[in-house]
A and B are shown apart, each in its own frame.
Chain A
């Protein structure tokens, strides 16, 4: 029972490089989310997808794009990475009226 799987686990980028963080869930959940976690800031919502085919901005969407590829997969793209995007990124999923299930995160460093 894999739950929410995130790849890669670690990544180092140079300023200006691009990359895509991948997330897949096998629980048949309809909603998926991307959060970032920074020291002293808790978790902040970047983007979410309430259902397949829809995406919406969260609290901190600038510098990111997302794609809900299908019901299982929700990717987060950094087009031109900046040092301020150094963070731990968590993907989560949920079904109607159920709590979030989180993946184990991608640790991203932008130099």
Chain B
């Protein structure tokens, strides 16, 4: 069983829809949770970063972490065709200098937003 599970999709929605992307994990030591967006043939870019449980909002994007359920979500409001990409969740247990970047990634969910 993978430490981090993410539904690979693909997920197709009409423009303007609310999108919900999710990951579950098994390691209770994870404290730092990230969402990366990856366009085709490009490297991942950081979208959202949260520490421990709670919500974080940035424009049309909201990240939620529920550590009791070992479940994280990314919500995209008013989705746009430019949001079409693969979304990867990632997490780690610590964020000290030697552990920075030692992330465990989900498999990624491919999202298509149709005009």
Contacts and interface: CB of A to CB of B under 8 A. Distances in A.
Q: Judge: A and B partners, yes or no.
A: yes
Interface of A: 4, 30-31, 33, 40-45, 48, 50-51, 58, 90, 92, 94, 96-100, 102-105
B95 A43 contact: no
Interface stretch (B55-63, B64-72, B75-83, B96-104): B96-104
Given A42-B106, A96-B97, 18 more contacts: A31-B97, A31-B100, A43-B44, A43-B90, A43-B105, A45-B101, A45-B103, A48-B102, A50-B98, A50-B100, A51-B97, A99-B34, A99-B46, A99-B49, A100-B46, A100-B100, A100-B101, A104-B41
B44 A50 contact: no
Interface residues of B, number: 25
B10 interface: no
A88 B101 CA distance: 18
B21 interface: no
B98 A102 contact: no
Contacts of A40: 8, 107
Contact of A98 (B41, B96, B100, B102): B100
A109 to B, nearest CB: 15
Given A41-B107, A43-B44, A102-B43, A48 B6 contact: no
B43 A45 contact: no
Nearest to B46: A99
Nearest to A95: B100
A96 B44 CA distance: 19
Contact of B44 (A94, A98, A102): A102
A102 B45 contact: yes
A63 to B, nearest CB: 20
Contact of A42 (B34, B49, B105): B105
A58 B102 contact: yes
A50 B97 contact: yes
Contact of A90 (B43, B46, B96, B97): B43
Nearest to B8: A40
Nearest to A100: B101
